[in-house]
Amino acid sequence: MTLAETLLSLQLSEESIHQRLHQIHQDALAGSRYLREPNFTRIHSPDLEFLFRAYDERFFGGLCRQTLADRQLGFRLAPRMTRTGGTTTRFRDRATGAVSFEIAIAIGVLFDSFRDGDRRITVCGLECEDRLQALQRVFEHELVHLAEQLCWETSDCKAARFQEIAARLFLHRAHTHSLITRQERAAQSGIRPGSRVAFAFEGCRLTGRVNRITKRATVLVEDGSGVRYSDGLRYKTYYVPISSLEPLA
């Protein structure tokens, strides 16, 4: 059976799927140097490679690696992704025409979630009890993207084929996540785009307004030597860790 045939026809019982997912969860904790607990605090790219091999073995019988053949598949941890859970990218070398793939996982939203007192977290429509479960759901989503690209060169998680495959193989009920973003975490402290804030910089206390929140907050501080903005004033831009900001009334 080919990978495409497997994607379109493999039918597992719900119990069998849960057993396979749980075993991958347990194997990751037992075999990784960094994923030492369900709410792990460290992760390295080899952990993503482990997940790929584990899922390929237990759900596809090694067909993903077989279909990749001599094409490269890379894994990357992406701390600057602050909204999406992950991405899967297909590259083509302009000079040689060689095709390669990369799965990137957003670790910021993983580490910003599952803290004491946090709200309920769902990924792909499934409630996650811990950070490792959330990582698995995100990785499963990206694995469907990869498999579709290997078979048909394109993949769209809003399309019926993607959602049917994800539901049948991994019991996914949605293609989105409700992980806690840096913006939500900042809002819990009263910090949002437009908020007036204070922070320390080189021994001085500066005040300004939050313009954007990604991994850090972009703060505009009025300064005559800065860049002129549409309001006619000049500002200097500072990139400040959210934990270093003091909200002002």
Using the predicted structure, report yes or no on whether residue 141 has a pLDDT greater than 90. yes
Distance, CA of 155 to CA of 233 (rounded, Å): 45
What confidence score (pLDDT) does residue 182 get? 82
Q: What is the pLDDT of residues 191-214, one digit of tens each?
A: 999 999 999 999 999 999 999 998
Q: Quick check: 249 pLDDT over 80?
A: no
Q: Please, which pLDDT band fits residue 185 given cuts at 50, 70 and 90? A: confident
- Residue entry with tokens 């060689």: 98
Enter the pTM of the model: 0.83
β-strands 196-201, 72-77 pairing: unpaired
User: What's the pLDDT tens digit per position in 95-105?
Assistant: 998 999 999 99
Residue 197 pLDDT? 96
According to CATH, where is 2.30.30 located in the chain?
A: 186-247
Q: Which of 30-39, 136-145, 230-239 has the highest mean predicted lDDT (pLDDT)?
A: 136-145
State how far the Cα of 237 lies from the Cα of 239, in Å rounded to an integer.
Answer: 7
Are 168 and 161 spatial neighbours (Cβ–Cβ below 8 Å)? no
Mean pLDDT to the nearest integer, 112-136: 95
**Domain 186-247, what fold?**
SH3 type barrels. (2.30.30)
pLDDT tens digits along 4-47: 999 999 999 999 999 999 999 999 999 999 999 999 999 999 99
